Amino acid sequence: MLATFGWLCAAHAMTGLLALLLLVSLLYATAPLYAFAESRPFAGPRWYNPYGELTAPGRWQKASFHAHSVAWGGATNGTQSAEQVASAYQTMQYDIVGLSNYHSMSAAARTGTFPVYEQGWNVQKAHRLAIGGDAIVWRDYPLGQTAHQKQDIINRIALTGAVVVLAHPALRGGHSTADLRQLSGYDALEVLNHFVPPATTQWDAALSSGRAVWAMANDDSHDVRRAGETGVSWTLLHAPSSRPDDVRAAIRAGRLIGVRGAGGQAQLAFVSQRMIGDTLEVRVRGPVGGVAFTAQDGLSRTAVVTSANGVTTARAVARPTDGYVRATVSGTGAADRELLLLNPVIRWDGQLLGAGPATVNAPRTAALRWFACCLYAAAFTSMQARRRRRVPSARPVQV
């Protein structure tokens, strides 16, 4: 009796596992394959400066788009309630607070915070922040992802109207430098995140390949009582209001500065960034320890730094082969851990900024689906044959 019960349980478990495997394999079998835009440096006779139009109405707002509260009945990693997390950021005087729970915006609805969620339920931790959208993308590729599958998720989130930010790209190789040379259709990269060192290698890979994506900084806090992960990285965003349409527009235009500080405070303060011919000039206030300029292929360019009246001015000349140049300001003394990560100036023609979108490669996608259909048919036929062999042949009963 017990043996029969055990056998039945094992059979049910096996059926469940097979059903799950079938479901997961269907996700992969139906993924589109893409033709990615060519990887090449930005080009054009003009420079796009994301901070060039700051005379337009607006102000710098301190924003957090990545922090977690208790969600899904405690199944995901979060320590405090949504109200407590929101209150911790409001105490640090953030203008925009987003609670980015996994695949959920219910905390935002409850607390009136900014609508954002973190997308991704895969072992590779290929996660994205969907900012200012109104629908959750549930689809994912749980067992690892090629650039094609990552592109598919980016496109699905973009279709909801949300700004797409690749979260912590350096964490567990979620988005590798090879991926970032191919992917497009997203708006920003979370270059600062407390879990990992600054993902500048990944960012420079994307920029060097002609992808106009901007730096964003977030805590990714899972416990607001821990000073090392709360109020340490934030994004300054220049927008006329904190309404979702203004915030989305500011992110897409690159009017962002990634900041590393402590307790939600930093002494370094951005003043201006402009191009004079091919010379990038950056001006900053506060205890500046250094200004580093980075250009094509992540190579550094010589900085000439001067100071007067409490303002530090740094300049670097772009080479003809530089598709972009960007500046990073670091602090000194008590502010030696501080960073201001400025977005780059980018060469362009005044119309299209960077690479075009990836397009679906229809013949390859159809071939993949045909191949998958053949595999499913072969597996089904072989299972049927095995089942037939297992059923004992009926014998005539003698009376």
Site size with Zn ion, rule: CB under 5 A:
2
> In angstroms, what is the minimal distance from the CB of 92 to Zn ion?
21
Minimum Å gap between C-beta 256 and Zn ion is 19
Q: What SS3 class is residue 374?
A: helix
> Which C-beta is closer to Zn ion: that of 96 or that of 167?
167
Of 174 and 354, which CB lies nearer to Zn ion in the complex structure? 174
Q: Output 62 or 127, the one with its CB closest to Zn ion.
A: 127
CB of 348 to Zn ion, least distance (A): 32
Given the complex with Zn ion, which of 66 and 211 has the nearer CB atom? Answer: 66
> What is the C-alpha separation between 67 and 31, in angstroms, rounded?
30
For residue 182, with 0-12 CB atoms within 10 Å meaning exposed, 13-18 middle and 19 or more buried, which class applies? buried
The residue among 211, 190, 242, 257 whose CA lies nearest residue 50 is: 257
Stretch that binds Zn ion, among 16-24, 33-41, 74-82, 167-175 (CB under 5 A): 167-175
Cβ atoms of 258 and 341 within 8 Å: the answer is yes
Q: Which among 102, 76, 72, 100 has a CA at the least distance from the CA of 86?
A: 100
Segment contacting Zn ion (CB under 5 A): 119-127, 186-194, 248-256, 335-343?
Answer: 119-127
- Letter for the amino acid at 318? A
Q: Tokens 């079938």 belong to which residue?
A: 22
C-beta closer to Zn ion: residue 193 or 296: 193
Q: Minimum distance between the CB of residue 219 and Zn ion, rounded to whole angstroms?
A: 12
Cβ-closest position to Zn ion: 127
Q: Which of residues 122-161 bind Zn ion (CB under 5 A)?
A: 127
- How many helices (H) and strands (E) would you count in the chain? 8, 21
Shortest separation between residue 114's beta carbon and Zn ion, angstroms: 17
Closest distance to Zn ion from the beta carbon of 169 (Å) = 11
- In three-state secondary structure terms, 136 is coil
Cβ nearer to Zn ion, comparing 127 with 326: 127
Identity of the residue, 127 or 301, whose beta carbon is nearer to Zn ion in the bound complex: 127
Query: In 185-196, which positions are buried (b, 16+ CB within 10 angstroms) versus exposed (e)?
Result: bbbbbbbbbbeb
**Span near Zn ion by CB under 5 A; candidates 55-63, 120-128, 230-238, 263-271:** 120-128
Contacts of 159 (CB under 8 A, 6+ apart): none
At closest approach, how far in Å is the CB of 127 from Zn ion?
4
Nearer of residues 101 and 294 to Zn ion, judged by Cβ: 101
Nearest-angstrom CA–CA distance, 57 and 80? 36
Q: CB of 129 within 8 A of CB of 108?
A: no
Question: Of 164-172, 282-290, 313-321, 352-360, which segment contacts Zn ion by CB under 5 A?
Answer: 164-172
For the CB of residue 168, give the shortest distance to Zn ion in the complex, in Å.
6
Spatial distance between the Cα atoms of 64 and 77, rounded to a whole number of angstroms:
18
Q: Which residues bind Zn ion (CB under 5 A)?
A: 127, 167
